[in-house]
Structure 1
Amino acid sequence: MPSSWRDHSQSRDEADVVIVGIAARGLAAAARRAGLRAIVLDLFGDEDTRALAVEAIPLRRLGGFRIDPADLAEQLAVHAGPDLPIVLGTGFEQAPEMVDELAARFRLVGNGSATIARLKQPLAFAGLLAGLGIAHPRVFPERAPDGVRTLEKRIGGSGGCHVRPADAVGGSDRYLQEFVEGRTVSALFLGDGSEARLLGFSEQWSAPTPDAPFRYGGAAGPILLDPAIGQDVAAALGRLVAATGLVGLASADLVLHPPGWSLIEVNPRPGATLDVFDRPPLPPLLDLHFDACAGTLPDLPPLLPGEGVEVRAAGILYAPAFIEMRLDALPGWVADRPPQGTRIEAGEPVCTVLAAGHDLTEARAQLARRMDRIWRELSTASRKAAE
């Protein structure tokens, strides 16, 4: 059985919240900023996750970065009990039944399986959006009509590695979504079950490979959109929250295209843009998540770039080749820090790189320089250790 990296005999008494996800460092940092002491359960056990947590518990990993549900339930029974609030990150959209099982035994703060299923079952979600008058790409359960460009996606998938061009599905857990050309952005928002509060927009990009042309690469924000589009998106999110009962912190992936925008998907949980937005002038986002789940939304306007508001960028560094983690000192702008000796295969995520600038162009340029620098230093250290 997996074991923790430290004695856990007192951790439950010391903790305020339990955080669970495939990679939970971002939520652990959000808990620290909110003044909460967190027990963290994830697959990676990165050094900064362990430093942020009261206790860090490694979870058993199944194929494809999936959490073993039996191991998770056992670990939560030991480390969380029925009273500590639990916040779920990535790893649960494709298994709403797991959320049901956890909710029956533990105190979950976030969306239940019914809401997740309404947002993550493609045909039902497309029908919901059509009924709400929200622009969206068409979806097809088996094969694309002639002349329609489509992408194959895994139901409940995240991270973009599961997305590829196709005109027919390759399995029962897949579907086709019409490809929409345009600028990819994300809207960070809160729901209280009946209303939504838009917090800000970020730009997203891919880190493509031949087998995964839409693999998630990173995000930067806040960004400024046409005010009319911002108002339209905010109104649409309000209708969506009222229809689904969504609560807490969530994000909506959009594609901007003349003459408007399309809603691609909704992630009903705190996500990757915590690294972008969980900074002043916004209050701690995990506090806002708890309040929204309890029915209270903040009186906040959407965050915009400008005086006193930097644009922040967070990019995922994927290993171009195999390395072993041998770099002793990592810069302060590196997050998700693998422990010394970690073996990272080509194509796997190495770490998250952070950057900032006065505007989007400056922030992304600094990010690109830092990603190039840290890979050179990591690969050099790995080669020297192997000599």
Structure 2
Amino acid sequence: MPSSWQDRSPPEDKADVVVLGIAARGLAAAARRAGLRAVALDLFGDEDTRALAVETIALRRHPGFAIDPGELFDQLDIHAGHTLPVVLGTGFEHAPEIVGALAARYRLAGCGPDTLARLKQPAVFERLLADLGIPHPRLLHGAAPEGMRALEKQVGGAGGAHVRPATMARGEGWYLQEQVEGRSVSALFLGDACTARLLAFSEQWCAPAEGTPFRYGGAAGPIRLDDGIARDVADALSRLVEANGLVGLASADLMVGEAGWSLLEINPRPGATLDIFDRPPLPPLLRLHIDACAGRLPELALLAPGAGVEARAAGVLYAPAAFDMRLDPLPEWVADRPRYGTRFDAGEPVCTVLAAGHDTIDARETLSRRMDHLWRTLNTADRQAAE
């Protein structure tokens, strides 16, 4: 194995990497596992992010969980300079111009603005997939044809809350796409701008709420797909990486059905499945990300369920009703741990709940029980504090 895969013990008096996004806890945890000392910038400043990072800066939050670009650059000038690698999480899919400014000013470890724009502009992405012969849902111009189920999506949207059934896109910044039926699957992979290395598959599910039927709920893995589909996906991702110059850790959202598979979206960044895959038998994923950005891919077989591979699940707990965080301490299987006294409105993400099992069914059942238990406990603690 390359030496860069080994966990290291960096000096105690400085940081090695800057991680940033709407929520940076997953990246901070990945840095810790990789033996790197991280400065974390995000919108929440959760307790475990603060424990995992050398320093955590909670950025100003604009409506819609948007990051304030001015404050972001001010803080990066202080903490990143021109030497530390900067790793992006979610929150920049809609803004290649901000990514371009980051790449020009700092040592960005990840995809640049041109790659992001090609992957996140629906018409450009659809033409690219067609040229490469990769199966994908149709992009619809105007109204959906009679009898066709379609989804309206926001350009650069993430997390699924922006996706709704529709027959016509509402206007600028939105688009209409054919709805494809099947099993929702995510493929975790690395790119070095020339080829892709497929690491693992996971299944995803939604946490529907009024007006947001496709809001992201969670993921579990690893799962096994048909060998032929897995080979086809790996080949398609390699062609896509080469055509776009994609580098680092990324994920592909797929629909897998009886008739085959379809590629919905590429997320060119480390994502939520760090919570289920950044653990043995895989080596530290942030190290793999940084290596891939430098043109080095590992020789790794596709992770599959079986002996010695524990299934894991991670789900987002959304507040069913408004409440104040009055539970201390939170269970050990809770991540993105809010500070005591934090106020949540109904529908807001509260935390991430983790579980493990012999297989994904077992892990998801444990996850469901834990989420139900946690909400009852949080609600009870809030009521008791108010009495």
What TM-score range do you get, normalising by the shorter chain? Answer: over 0.9
Secondary structure in structure 1 of the residue aligned to 2:351? strand
Letter in 1 for 2:284: P
| Deviation by residue 1:246-268 (Cα, 9 ceiling, x = unmatched) | 00000000001122100000000
Structure 1 residue 126: Cα displacement:
0.6
Structure 1 residue 148: Cα displacement:
2.1
Structure 1 residue 170: Cα displacement:
1.4
Secondary structure in structure 1 of the residue aligned to 2:306? coil
What RMSD in Å do the two structures reach over aligned CA positions?
A: 1.2
When normalised by structure 2's length, the TM-score is: 0.96
Q: Hey, which bits of structure 1, 4+ residues long, moved more than 6 A? A: none
Within 5 Å, give how 1:1-387 maps onto structure 2: 14-387=14-387
* In 2, Cα distance between equivalents of 1:371 and 1:242: 41
Secondary structure in structure 2 of the residue aligned to 1:363? helix
Secondary structure in structure 1 of the residue aligned to 2:301? coil
Secondary structure in structure 2 of the residue aligned to 1:74? helix
Structure 1 residue 74: Cα displacement:
1.0
Which 10-residue stretch deviates more, 267-276 or 77-86? 77-86
* In 2, Cα distance between equivalents of 1:145 and 1:322: 41
* In 2, Cα distance between equivalents of 1:55 and 1:133: 45
Distance 1:61 1:141, change over 3 A: farther
Cα pair 1:121 1:156 within 8 Å, conserved? yes
Cα pair 1:41 1:56 within 8 Å, conserved? yes
Cα pair 1:153 1:174 within 8 Å, conserved? yes
Letter in 2 for 1:73: F
| Deviation by residue 1:338-372 (Cα, 9 ceiling, x = unmatched) | 00000011100011000011111101100001001
* In 2, Cα distance between equivalents of 1:263 and 1:277: 21
| Deviation by residue 1:56-112 (Cα, 9 ceiling, x = unmatched) | 001111110011111111111122111111000000010000001111111100000
Structure 1 residue 144: Cα displacement:
2.1
Secondary structure in structure 2 of the residue aligned to 1:301? coil
Secondary structure in structure 2 of the residue aligned to 1:159? coil
Secondary structure in structure 2 of the residue aligned to 1:56? strand
Distance 1:39 1:339, change over 3 A: same
Letter in 2 for 1:174: W
Letter in 1 for 2:358: H
Structure 1 residue 13: Cα displacement:
5.6
* In 1, Cα distance between equivalents of 2:181 and 2:218: 19
Structure 1 residue 22: Cα displacement:
0.2
Structure 1 residue 237: Cα displacement:
0.4
Which 10-residue stretch deviates more, 168-177 or 286-295? 168-177
Secondary structure in structure 2 of the residue aligned to 1:351? strand
Cα pair 1:183 1:256 within 8 Å, conserved? yes
Letter in 1 for 2:96: P
Letter in 1 for 2:355: A
When normalised by structure 1's length, the TM-score is: 0.96
Structure 1 residue 12: Cα displacement:
11
Q: Which runs of 5+ in 1 are unaligned?
A: 1-10
* In 1, Cα distance between equivalents of 2:242 and 2:141: 27
| Deviation by residue 1:213-272 (Cα, 9 ceiling, x = unmatched) | 000000000001111111111011011101101000000000011221000000000000
* In 2, Cα distance between equivalents of 1:98 and 1:155: 15
Secondary structure in structure 1 of the residue aligned to 2:290? helix
* In 2, Cα distance between equivalents of 1:64 and 1:189: 29
Q: Which runs of 5+ in 2 are unaligned?
A: 1-10
Which 10-residue stretch deviates more, 252-261 or 138-147? 138-147
* In 2, Cα distance between equivalents of 1:374 and 1:14: 37
Distance 1:193 1:67, change over 3 A: same
Cα pair 1:123 1:141 within 8 Å, conserved? no
* In 2, Cα distance between equivalents of 1:294 and 1:70: 29
Secondary structure in structure 2 of the residue aligned to 1:14? coil
What residue in structure 2 maps to residue 4 of structure 1?
none
Letter in 1 for 2:162: H
Secondary structure in structure 2 of the residue aligned to 1:252? strand
Letter in 2 for 1:155: V
Secondary structure in structure 1 of the residue aligned to 2:152? strand
Letter in 2 for 1:343: R
Structure 1 residue 141: Cα displacement:
4.4
What residue in structure 1 maps to residue 6 of structure 2?
none
* In 2, Cα distance between equivalents of 1:130 and 1:111: 22
Structure 1 residue 207: Cα displacement:
0.1
Letter in 1 for 2:250: A
Secondary structure in structure 1 of the residue aligned to 2:224? coil
